[in-house]
Amino acid sequence: MSTSVAVASWITRIAEEERQRDAERAREDETIARKADLVRRTGRRIVDELRAAVARDVQSYRGEFAGDPARDIVVEAAGADGGFIVRKPAPSAASLTVTPKPGAAIACHYRFSLPQGLPPLDDHIEVLWVDDGGETLQMKHGMTGQLFPTSDALSEFLLVPALTGRPRSSREARS
């Protein structure tokens, strides 16, 4: 003899909502795992491409001011993770340190020397790697959301303050 109990409609509704939540969590987990794999496979290449673009752009800028020691800017490797430093000498000394972070970001630290013995001015930005839904990562400014589709575009954005020795104004950072 079997006894069947009618399931209240509210239980059926809640169970279906839970199944939908479970499916959404599984999709999110798949997306996160796919992005982590993409970062693992291509992240170092992206940093290397950025360093090459920065070095090329610095060399071009130096060529515009041949023989000017104030614009004898150098790009140096920093760490085994592909990070690098851009250094501009006095009188408007500045540096940009680019450090890949575990996961999907690049930390960028600017330091600007100020006149009259004032302490240096530091500025930090974070560039995130975002998944375009395919097999490509794009770079995005962590605060403004500005996308940089290529290393060349990010090089320009990062180098302007370092080459000029002047921090980016808050208005420029938002554009």
Question: Count of domains in the chain?
Answer: 1
Tokens of 10: 């509210």
Let me know if residue 1 belongs to a domain: no
69 located within any domain: yes
Instruction: Report the DSSP pairing between strands 121-131 and 137-141.
Output: antiparallel
Full residue range of the structural domain in which residue 118 is found: 10-174
Average pLDDT over the chain, rounded to an integer: 86
Q: Is residue 156 part of a domain?
A: yes
Cα of first residue to Cα of last residue in the chain, in angstroms, is: 74
Which pLDDT value is given to residue 8? 86
Res 133: pLDDT: 67
- Among the residue ranges 75-84, 109-118, 135-144, 157-166, the one predicted with the least confidence is 135-144
pLDDT tens string 51-101:
999 999 999 999 999 889 888 999 999 888 889 999 999 888 999 999 998
Residue 96 counted as domain residue? yes
For residue 3, is it within any domain?
Answer: no
Domain presence at residue 77: yes
pLDDT digits (tens, 9 = 90+) for 10-42: 989 999 999 999 999 998 888 777 777 777 777
Question: How far from 49 is each of 122, 167, 173, CA to CA, in Å?
Answer: 25, 24, 23
Q: Is residue 4 part of a domain?
A: no
Q: Confirm whether 120 is domain-assigned.
A: yes
Query: Residue 118 has which token pair?
Result: 């004032």
